[in-house]
Amino acid sequence: MTDVRDVTVVGAGVMGCGIAQVAAGAGCDVTLVDISPASLTAARDAIATSLNRLVRAARLTRTRADDALRHIRLTTSLDEPAARADLVIEAIVEDLGAKQALFRRLDGLCRADVVLATNTSQFPMTQVAQHTADPSRVIGMHWSNPPQLMLLVELVVGRSTSEEALRVVREFAARCGREYVVCRTDLPGFISNRLSVALFTEAGRMVDDGVAGPADIDRVARMMFGHRMGPLETQDLAGLDTVLRATTAMASFYGERFEPPESLRALVSAGRLGRKTSGGFYDYVDGEKHEPGTEQ
């Protein structure tokens, strides 16, 4: 397998944008692919905004920010970027069938030496790679959200994943300035999601039970446990529809301990999906977070 210079990221959502930004910042040529032109336009704006914030916070120079943006191309066409890539990272919707269909297609488009990585937070590699001719090159590369700020990547080895595929993503993670952990048991949720979903569901149950409001629950996580973000605001950032799919899938495998709380189901049913809809566990006005029912 070759050294990684050209990266294709499939899926221009929150995770795909962040991964593309990090890879470009590490000096890779990056192509961000999405079937939606509108999503790509939004992605370009989101990446530029994120880079500008890092510059204002003195975490990045203007020269490096501009250089990273120049390294990112956007397209709705998968064929040419996949054929050219040294590494493909999938970051599409958390739907197993959609991922399997994409990996089947990538298997035919990419060179035989190219690692196919998935950003799934829950599906076993054996399932994702089920319809590929060479499952040894399929590996999990689960980034923390948001990828441009979080410094740990979870590498997930399937039953067929080769040590060479693991080497490639280890070296790529290090090049991106990320630390990593390796999960060698191919079970749903890996390390991080089994921990985070347990916290998410319990925080939601406390909302259900009226124990405290979202702001106080999140404040405990931040100020007593040292979390950067609380569990409810984190879910709003990730998208409550995405969280509901993840918790439902985890519950189907592990049982009722991961059963989604009623507050989460109700918010998704009402179309309150978090920051992207300006409302979830919190309301969002001009990007500012407010607890529902409080003065804004």
Task: List the domain boundaries for the chain.
Answer: 6-183, 192-290
Say which of 144, 193, 196, 263 is annotated catalytic: 193
262 is catalytic: no
pLDDT confidence of residue 291: 86
CATH topology identical between 6-183 and 192-290:
no
Report the alpha-carbon angle 149-84-71, nearest 5: 40
Of the chain, the percentage scoring pLDDT greater than 90 comes to 90
154 is catalytic: yes
Residue 44 amino acid letter: R
Say which of 119, 154, 196, 263 is annotated catalytic: 154
pLDDT tens, position by position, 49-100: 999 999 999 999 999 999 999 999 999 999 999 999 999 999 999 899 999 9
* Burial (0-12, 13-18, 19+ Cβ within 10 Å), 232: buried
Whether domain 192-290 has CATH 1.10.1040.50: yes
119 is catalytic: no
Going by C-alpha positions, the residue among 58, 6, 48, 50 that lies closest to residue 31 is 6
Q: Specify the pairing of strand 87-90 against strand 72-75.
A: unpaired
136 is catalytic: no
pLDDT confidence of residue 287: 80
Say which of 119, 142, 144, 162 is annotated catalytic: 142
Neighbours of 286 (CB within 10 A): 6
pLDDT confidence of residue 294: 64
pLDDT confidence of residue 177: 97
pLDDT confidence of residue 1: 54
pLDDT confidence of residue 295: 54
pLDDT confidence of residue 87: 99
Overall CATH class of domain 6-183 = alpha beta
pLDDT confidence of residue 2: 61
pTM of the model: 0.85
Neighbours of 79 (CB within 10 A): 12
Say which of 39, 50, 119, 121 is annotated catalytic: 121
pLDDT confidence of residue 293: 66
Residues of the chain with pLDDT under 50: none
pLDDT confidence of residue 286: 86
